[in-house]
Amino acid sequence: MSNTQANSESYVGRQVGNYLVQAEVQRGSYGSVFQAKHVIFADEPVVALKILHTNLTDPASEQQFFDEARLLRRLKHAHILPVQDAGLDEGVPYFVAAYAASGSLRDLLLKQQGTPLPVADALRILNQVGDGLNYAHQQSVVHRDLKPENILFGDQGEALLADFGIAVTLTSTRTQLANRSGTPAYMAPEQFEGLSSIKSDQYALGCIAYELLTGRLPFQFADTSIESIWFQHAKVVPTPPTQINSTIPPYTEQAILRTLAKDREQRFLSVADFLLALNSGYTTQTIYATPAQPQGLTPTVMVDPTGQQPPPLASTLMVESPTGPAIAPTILADQPSASTPAQGYTPTVSADAENNSHTTQGDAQNQPQAASTSKQTRRLPTAMTTGSVPTPQAQTTSPEAVPVLPPITPVSQQPTLILDPDKARLYGETAHKLNDIERYSEALAYFEQALHFDPANGWLYGGKGFALYHLERYEEALTALNDAIKLGYTNNGWIYAYLGYTLKELRRYQEALQAYDQSLQLDANNAWTLREKGHVLNTLKHYDDALKCIDHSLELDAKSEFAYGRRGFALKNLGRHAEALQAYDQALALDPHDGWTYREKAHVLNLLKRYPEAVEAANMAIQFDAHDMYAYVQKGFALKNLGHYEEVLQAYNQAQALDPKNAWFYREKAFVLNELKRYEEALHESDQAVKLEPHNAFAHGRRGFALKELKRYEEALQAYDQALQLDANDAWTLREKAHVLNSLKHYDEALTCAEQALHLNPQDDLAKEQREAAKRHLRRHKKAVEEKERE
């Protein structure tokens, strides 16, 4: 057992200063960390006790330690673990700090198992650690042992820079000669020679940045000797991070590679400069003469490349200060116009939609069904600006009320910038107002500008996600909304609601449900979210659950035509057709110009066999949306059941023009053309249907019918056999096959097929006819045989 191990283990159970050592937490090259409790103030929280692996044997060394301890205790920053106490125990120095129970960055990296962190997560950690480190540098403190083990996480997930126990204090910002200290994998080349400075800390932070974003260290050490590790740091160029993780922005990669420069003079002047370049590619010139505030980054001079003073930001936009009253949200949900119909279904036809509808009086349920996703995006309610839940009474911002916008200068022409929450707020307010008046591309540009000034602002990411959603850039919207949530911004559940809506557009319905549930946990009485959850449940065919959600939403907001429409859809699919019709009428009373609701009403009227009314409703749907394929389907179905076959063909031709690769229309047209006795045309349409869907029994059956009527019996028999291979219990096909077999004088087989058809459908008079015809022919044949035998 080494002396270090022996010493560490011997401390457990001992009192060090005023602290009782309870357990060892971590052991390193320069000290060990223990969990400890104050022996006098027992109600105080557990602390972290860092005992250094050294002895101070002379008064000068002790005095230097106490001077450094006093300086470290004065480091007051949101991202520095505070030093609470220090002392000597039989000549061994120790520090006492707050205990961070949420683990270290090393713990997080171990959980990642070599995979990179998401870029937003990595940058958030690096910004927090870098902010604390930069502040320490301004107090003339260099860490010297920056590594993931020394970055801890607080109760709120914030990163805390810890373990300044081997820090060296500097009387200036220049490099100072010190004992060679640090962890080799994160040490700058000059640190192996005993040279420590803010540049060596910056190098270590660059190594950590590389590791977070790629899942690996910048250098791979097959040989772990000090000489081998030094050679890698001093001589080997690291692999560009984007070759390992292509999601890393180019400017982030350039910043990391610059901070890993072998020559410290080629690195950034300060950690603050590194952070700005890491986040946005900007560079700065930093002044150390001005002391830093406990919170925030290094004061930075605004430097224009031309040497001129930068123009001030325009302030003509009427926005309030962060402490002033909030901007009123804009509400456009459930107020669709003719140009933005509140449709909720994407035109997709079920492959098996019409398999069993073989007679003129077919079941209206066997029509192509539209899925429950919207091809036309409905506008989301804009609760983003204030963080409050929007109310139906809020007024829509007039499109004419265009704000005067602060300018956005192209990056290549911009003066150098600093992280500035006030400027971020100005650009963010502008961006949210642009969202309110539906100028989403411009809003996105302003959100990007705002995020340059404040790259860890959840409010900005939320608005950015909102704009990206309306630009139909759903994957990017998903990333931005997730970033907002990770940064703690939920806007009373609205961000989760927007996340659910985006996931729905991406057809990730189960995840959308989870997002809506999280939103409702924060606001259980949000009618908009309840409606949208019901919509997704309809899509997943959970109609009972959908109905419960939608009914709850209507208790909260009885004026939503969207909710009544989706209520009708659930009731229709539950077989409660009369109630569905009532719901659709309530929706149309609120919005008499919604083509989707008219089309769905036509479907229900077809199910109720009220065909003339179905034609009227379908015509209204087509009037409001001439490109709604399903409206033509409902019209054609009603007309078919009214026997108006020429009009049916016209309706199906119009639908087919909208979706020429849809086999359903070819099958239906074949049926109608057979009824019109236009058998060659019917054969052509059914051939196309079989080509598009070779495993559809209905298509083969309609093909067989046309061939039978053209007296091509052997081909017809083959078509019916193919249909029966796909559906052996189809009474219509068995009856038609019996007809063909009778025509081919295969009476025994015809009798068998006819009896099978009647077993499945005892009321089929045509099957009875084929059975009697087969029996009659068989009797005649038997009689003829008997007469021949008597002769």
- pLDDT reported for residue 367: 61
Residue 370's nearest CA partner among 701, 36, 664 is 664
**Dihedral class, residue 745 (left if φ above 0, else alpha if ψ from -120 to 50, else beta):** left
Q: What is the pLDDT of residues 276-296, one digit of tens each?
A: 788 765 443 322 222 223 233
Share of the chain above pLDDT 70, in %: 78
Q: What is the pLDDT of residues 530-563, one digit of tens each?
A: 999 999 999 999 999 999 999 999 999 999 999 9
Residue 327 CB-half CA count within 13 A: 26
In which element (H, E) is residue 168 found? strand 168-169
Q: What CATH class is the domain 3-98?
A: alpha beta
In which element (H, E) is residue 26 found? strand 19-27
Q: Are 249 and 185 in contact (CB under 8 A)?
A: no
Q: Rounded mean pLDDT of 241-265? A: 93
CA distances, 753 to each of 23, 82, 740 (Å): 85, 89, 10
Q: Are 533 and 500 in contact (CB under 8 A)?
A: yes
Q: What is the pLDDT of residues 522-532, one digit of tens each?
A: 999 999 999 99
State the Cα–Cα distance between residues 252 and 122, nearest whole angstrom: 11
Q: 3-class SS at 95?
A: strand
Which residues are CB-contacts of 61 (< 8 A; sequence separation ≥ 6)? none
CA distances, 371 to each of 347, 411, 507, 634, 687 (Å): 7, 44, 10, 16, 27
Residue 268 CB-half CA count within 13 A: 30
419 confidence band (pLDDT: 50, 70, 90):
low
Residue 244's nearest CA partner among 231, 255, 235, 253 is 253
Q: 3-class SS at 690?
A: helix
- pLDDT reported for residue 472: 93
Q: What is the pLDDT of residues 137-177, one digit of tens each?
A: 888 888 888 999 989 998 888 899 987 745 443 333 334 43
Q: Rounded mean pLDDT of 375-390? A: 47
State the Cα–Cα distance between residues 604 and 364, nearest whole angstrom: 8
Which residues are CB-contacts of 786 (< 8 A; sequence separation ≥ 6)? none
Residue 136 burial by Cβ neighbours in a 10 Å radius (0-12, 13-18, 19+): buried
Residue 211 burial by Cβ neighbours in a 10 Å radius (0-12, 13-18, 19+): buried
Structure tokens belonging to residue 271: 């950690």
Cα 276–chain centre separation? 27
- pLDDT reported for residue 550: 95
Q: Are 114 and 216 in contact (CB under 8 A)?
A: yes
Q: 3-class SS at 86?
A: strand
Least confident of 36-45, 171-180, 200-209, 599-608: 171-180
Q: What is the pLDDT of residues 334-358, one digit of tens each?
A: 223 333 322 332 222 332 333 333 3
Give the residue with greater pLDDT, 226 vs 421.
226
Q: Are 371 and 350 in contact (CB under 8 A)?
A: no
Q: Rounded mean pLDDT of 718-728? A: 94
Tokens 């079989």 — which residue? 690
Among 7-21, 75-89, 405-419, 462-476, the range with the most confident prediction by mean pLDDT is 462-476
pTM: 0.51
- Asked if pLDDT for residue 323 goes beyond 60, the answer is no
Q: Are 94 and 17 in contact (CB under 8 A)?
A: yes
State the Cα–Cα distance between residues 235 and 753, nearest whole angstrom: 86
Q: What is the pLDDT of residues 638-688, one digit of tens each?
A: 999 999 999 999 999 998 899 999 888 899 899 999 999 999 999 999 999
State the Cα–Cα distance between residues 658 and 447, nearest whole angstrom: 38
70 confidence band (pLDDT: 50, 70, 90):
confident
**Counting runs of H as helices and runs of E as strands, what totals does the chain give?**
29, 14
State the Cα–Cα distance between residues 599 and 622, nearest whole angstrom: 8
Give the residue with greater pLDDT, 371 vs 604.
604
First and final CA of the chain: distance in angstroms?
A: 120
322 DSSP 8-state letter? T
Q: Where are the beta strands (DSSP E) in 272-351?
A: 285-286, 300-301
Domain boundaries, the chain: 3-98, 105-301, 729-790
- pLDDT reported for residue 700: 94
CA distances, 234 to each of 57, 186, 223, 230, 621 (Å): 36, 12, 15, 6, 73
List own/partner pairs for 29-34 with CB under 8 A and 24 or more apart. Answer: 29/53, 29/183, 30/54, 30/145, 30/165, 30/166, 30/181, 31/163, 31/165, 31/166, 32/4, 32/7, 32/8, 33/163
Query: To the nearest whole number, what is the mean pLDDT of the chain?
Result: 79
Tokens 């989707």 — which residue? 596
369 confidence band (pLDDT: 50, 70, 90):
low
Share of the chain above pLDDT 90, in %: 50
Which CATH superfamily includes the segment(s) 105-301?
Answer: Transferase(Phosphotransferase) domain 1 (1.10.510.10)
- Asked if pLDDT for residue 241 goes beyond 60, the answer is yes
Least confident of 85-94, 507-516, 608-617, 708-717: 85-94
Q: What is the pLDDT of residues 433-480, one digit of tens each?
A: 888 888 999 999 999 988 888 888 889 999 999 999 999 999 999 999
Q: Where are the beta strands (DSSP E) in 173-307?
A: 176-177, 195-196, 285-286, 300-301
State the Cα–Cα distance between residues 400 and 539, nearest whole angstrom: 37
Q: Are 516 and 536 in contact (CB under 8 A)?
A: yes
- pLDDT reported for residue 193: 85
Q: Is the dihedral of CA 539, 544, 545, 546 positive or negative?
A: positive
